């Protein structure tokens, strides 16, 4: 029997418990697949005296990171603390000491990926982070291995479970954003401060990670255009349905002739799109490659056991690579530096909802304003609200962002237009 591969676990929160349980419950199979037992030999916690939700030998617990960093027997460090500090320092120290690192920390990878990969390369070790995007759904390894022969053209994903749950509620029940948020809080899907979720920042971090791998070019969270779902109303949801769309918060990354575009925003997608049926807290990532065509990866995007599943699998790979003396077998793939596409050049269709005066000629003046900036209209719905005011909903053809914004400014200035209530991008690609 091979000597066990020893790992240090940083953090025993939700994901840490999941990893610990999986390694314990599926130990026999994991041992056979790796070729040696994989053993959590030390666990870093803030308070070693605290009562734990998982049964764990007290002697394994420590509140001193050096007990793990200085232990030469520990070959792999599993970081599931989250956040930048102190996780980043711990991980860098582990890599520098030649320990492979497995992490589920999207904040850290999306911001410090380059630095971390450099440290992993210097240490000659693995840096694996499947758990950082879309919980248990395999997507990073599929991109790095299974689809590696493709030139990836598009990555488009529902990568935030909280907002997908909220939009699902709003779509099914016609309720408001506030009501859906309250519901998500009660179910434990939304945190006390839901900003990172509802404002799209969480999705932007994950998209930065996916896009970096898909396009072989480093993209950080700062490169991502971000819009959250806070402006989505029950009315927009209802119009989406009437027009045969659903609204999803999508992370969209595309490689185009003008550069790479990376954006997170609420999006109209056709009801027949594979992503349209992804509901509740489920995540899914749609990927188009030049050879494989359209693929999609679907599953639970968060949680103790799903994310634990991804982290445990990475740990198995890191352990196997150590056993065979090939740590770092598959490492950073950001070989290129591709330009970002300027936001004004990004093309999309747009849904626009306007409050206008209900009199002849108003629609013509709006159409004229759009036309003036070369924005042509695909469909227009005029809804009478009372004798004096009307609501107009229109969908444009594909147009550059700059032209659309210019046209919108013209429309806003029309005397017959009271308000631009909302505009939402429309993605037709299947």
| Cα torsion through 251, 285, 78, 149, rounded to 10 | -110
Taking the C-alpha atoms of residue 100 and residue 120, their distance in angstroms, rounded to an integer, is 7
CB of 20: closest distance to its own copies in angstroms?
12
**Shortest reach from residue 83's CB to its own copies, in Å:** 24
> How many other C-beta atoms are found inside a 10 Å radius of the C-beta of residue 184?
23
**Cα→Cα distances 304→87, 139, 290, 361, Å:** 19, 18, 35, 58
State whether residue 95 is helix, strand or coil: helix
CA distances from 262 to 259, 267, 376 (A): 10, 14, 25
Strand-pair category, 61-62 with 245-256: unpaired
Cross-sheet strand order for the sheet of 74-79:
61-62, 38-44, 5-10, 74-79, 100-103, 127-128
Residues forming the site for its own copies (CB under 8 A): 18, 22-23, 25-26, 29-30, 32-33, 130, 136-138, 141-142, 145-151, 216, 274, 277, 289-300, 303, 305-306, 308-310, 312-313, 315-317, 320, 324, 326, 329-330, 333, 335
Question: Minimum distance between the CB of residue 61 and its own copies, rounded to whole angstroms?
Answer: 22
Residue 32: Cβ within 10 Å count: 10
Does 57 appear as a known binding residue? Answer: no
Q: How far is the CB of 40 from its own copies (least distance, A)?
A: 13
Q: Is 191 annotated as a binding residue?
A: yes
Q: Which of 206, 248, 254, 373 is catalytic?
A: 206
Estimate to the nearest angstrom the gap between the alpha carbon of 271 and the chain centroid: 21
Q: How far is the CB of 244 from its own copies (least distance, A)?
A: 15
Is 206 known to be catalytic? yes
Token duo for residue 302? 């968060």
Cβ proximity to its own copies, 74 vs 313, nearer residue: 313
**With respect to its own copies, which residue has the nearer C-beta, 265 or 300?**
300
User: Nearer to its own copies by C-beta: 248 or 400?
Assistant: 248
Which CB, 229 or 276, lies closer to its own copies?
A: 276
Alpha-carbon distance of 209 to 113, in angstroms, equals: 8
CB of residue 121 to its own copies, shortest distance in Å: 13
Q: Write the burial class of residue 290 (CB in 10 Å: 0-12 exposed, 13-18 middle, 19+ buried).
A: exposed
Provide the 3-class DSSP secondary structure of residue 394. strand
Distance CA 75, CA 56 (A): 21
Instruction: Please identify every residue annotated as catalytic.
Output: 206
Bind-site residues for NADPH: 106
């Amino acid at each position: 029997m091979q000597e066990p591969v020893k790992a240090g676990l940083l953090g025993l929160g939700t994901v840490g418990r999941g990893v610990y349980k999986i390694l314990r419950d599926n130990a026999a199979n994991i041992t056979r697949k790796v070729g040696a037992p994989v053993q959590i030999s030390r666990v870093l916690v803030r308070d070693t005296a605290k009562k734990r939700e998982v049964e764990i030998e007290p002697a394994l617990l420590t509140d001193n990171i050096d007990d793990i960093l200085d232990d030469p027997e520990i070959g792999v460090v599993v970081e599931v603390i989250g956040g930048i500090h102190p996780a980043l320092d711990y991980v860098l120290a582990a890599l520098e000491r030649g320990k492979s690192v497995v992490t589920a920390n999207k904040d850290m990878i999306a911001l410090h990926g380059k630095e971390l990969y450099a440290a992993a390369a210097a240490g000659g070790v693995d840096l694996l982070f499947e758990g950082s995007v879309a919980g248990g759904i395999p997507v990073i390894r599929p991109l790095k291995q299974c689809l590696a022969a493709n030139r990836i053209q598009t990555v488009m994903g529902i990568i935030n479970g909280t907002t997908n749950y909220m939009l699902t509620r709003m779509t099914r029940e016609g309720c408001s954003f506030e009501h859906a948020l309250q519901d998500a809080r009660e179910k434990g899907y939304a945190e006390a401060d839901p900003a990172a979720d509802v404002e799209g920042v969480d999705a932007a971090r994950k998209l930065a990670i996916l896009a970096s791998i898909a396009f072989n070019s480093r993209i950080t969270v700062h490169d991502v255009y971000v819009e959250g779902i806070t402006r989505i109303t029950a009315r927009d949801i209802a119009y989406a349905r009437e027009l045969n769309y659903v609204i999803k918060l999508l992370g969209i990354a595309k490689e185009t002739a003008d550069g790479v575009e990376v954006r997170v925003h609420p999006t109209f997608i056709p009801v027949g799109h594979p992503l349209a049926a992804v509901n509740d807290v489920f995540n899914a990532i749609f990927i188009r490659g030049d050879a494989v065509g359209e693929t999609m990866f679907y599953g639970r995007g968060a949680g103790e056991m799903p994310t634990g599943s991804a982290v445990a699998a990475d740990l198995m790979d890191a352990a196997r690579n150590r056993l065979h003396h090939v740590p770092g077998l598959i490492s950073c793939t950001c070989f290129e530096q591709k330009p970002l596409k300027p936001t004004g050049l990004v093309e999309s269709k747009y849904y626009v909802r306007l409050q206008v005066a209900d009199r002849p000629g108003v629609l013509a003046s709006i159409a004229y304003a759009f036309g003036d900036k070369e924005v042509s209209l695909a469909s227009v719905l005029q809804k009478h609200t009372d004798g004096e005011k009307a609501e107009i909903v229109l969908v444009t053809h594909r147009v550059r962002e700059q032209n659309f914004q210019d046209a919108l400014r013209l429309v806003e200035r029309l005397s017959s237009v009271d308000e631009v209530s909302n505009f939402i991008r429309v993605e037709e690609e299947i």
